[in-house]
Amino acid sequence: MTLAVLGTGKLGGAILRGWVRAGLFAPSEIALPARASGRALAAELGARVAGSNGETVAGAEILLLAVKPYQLASVLTEVRDQLPPECLVLSVAAGVSTTALEAVLPDRQPVLRVLPNTPAQIGAAASAFCRGAAATNDHAATVTRLFSALGLCIEVAESQMDAVVGVAASGVAFVYLFLEALTDGGVRMGLPRAAARQLAAQTLVGAGQLALETGLHPMELKDAVTTPGGTTMAGIAVLESAAFRGIVMEAVRAATERSAELGRPK
């Protein structure tokens, strides 16, 4: 299938690298715009530099939109006349609804929103998608196939997409803060930095993998680590005295609300 990408920055690049790595698109099937980031990504992946945004989308079967939320309407307006009517439009922008996208596109253009996160580039994303008015089951199946190749992909109601930003798209950065803190904690206690970083990162990967594979409640997994009177409870008591879980939930709420704000007209 032919793919056009507008928005060749951090997330657009991560998705594209993931798809090329998974063999879903041959580099010759990918058209990128002739701007600095598009040229750089094209050179890295062997993709085609098409020219203007309009020239990029001409003939595309799938258009991936990964520009900033406030740039979406103007970019779509710019390319709508060159966009093939059957082209599946996939937006990864936080906050911007399918209704807002459809408002600037020709009638019945199939639109879906997807929210992946940056581990997409190594096939370990957590993604959720929702459908616009003209999206069919076949379109949903295409999106599921594309994003399952980059990790986990589930469908949610559009009203839940802002919460997906809070938990997964932004949530990955919250995890990196925790990773840094866990690493620094190890260094503080005398571990060499490289060893602390490796141990901390694998601890996060292993903890997540165990939760996914067993389906057990996090509390059960936590209980399996806590020897009565032991080391783990000594640490958990410190985290809880600073309302660790409450502050994480507040971070998810803040990111969710900010996502909703990004989609509101100024």
Ligand X SMILES: NC(=O)C1=CN([C@@H]2O[C@H](COP(=O)(O)OP(=O)(O)OC[C@H]3O[C@@H](n4cnc5c(N)ncnc54)[C@H](OP(=O)(O)O)[C@@H]3O)[C@@H](O)[C@H]2O)C=CC1
Ligand Y SMILES: O=C(O)[C@@H]1CCC=N1
Q: Does 53 bind ligand X (CB under 6 A)?
A: yes
Least distance CB 158 / ligand X (angstroms): 15
CA dihedral 27, 32, 35, 38 (to 10 degrees): -40
Any idea which residue has 């990504």 for tokens?
Answer: 41
Binding mask of the shown chain, residues 166 to 205, with x at each position contacting ligand Y by CB under 6 A: ---xx-----------------------------------
Task: For 136, list phi and psi in degrees, rounded to 5.
Answer: -100, 175
Least distance CB 114 / ligand Y (angstroms): 12
Query: Between the CA of residue 252 and those of 115, 219, 245, 258, what are the distances in Å?
Result: 15, 20, 11, 10
Binding mask of the shown chain, residues 184 to 213, with x at each position contacting ligand X by CB under 6 A: ------------------------------
Q: How many CB atoms lie within 10 A of CB 243?
A: 11
Identify what 6 binds: ligand X, ligand Y, none; CB under 5 to 8 Å per kind: ligand X
Report how far residue 143's alpha carbon sits from residue 129's, in angstroms, rounded to the nearest whole number.
Answer: 8
46: left (phi over 0), alpha (psi -120 to 50) or beta: left
DSSP, res 229:
T
Least distance CB 165 / ligand Y (angstroms): 5
Q: Does 9 bind ligand X (CB under 6 A)?
A: yes
Residue among 167, 169, 161 at smallest CA distance from 251: 167
Helix axes 193-214, 171-188, angle to 10 degrees: 130
Of 96 and 196, nearer to ligand X (C-beta) is 96
Q: Does 94 bind ligand Y (CB under 6 A)?
A: yes
DSSP, res 35:
S
Residue 237 counted as an annotated binding residue? no
Binding mask of the shown chain, residues 92 to 121, with x at each position contacting ligand X by CB under 6 A: xxx--------------------x-xx---
Residue 68 counted as an annotated binding residue? yes
Q: Answer for the pair 256, 90: CB distance below 8 angstroms, yes or no.
A: no
Residue 69 counted as an annotated binding residue? yes
Please pick, from the candidates 5, 88, 105, 165, the single residue that binds ligand Y as defined by CB under 6 A: 165
Residues that bind ligand X (CB under 6 A): 6-12, 33, 35-37, 53, 66-69, 71, 75, 92-94, 115, 117-118, 169
- Binding-site residue set for NADPH: 53
In the complex, the residues that contact ligand Y under the rule CB under 6 A are 94, 165, 169-170
Instruction: Please state the residue numbers annotated as binding site for NADP(+).
Output: 6-11, 66-69
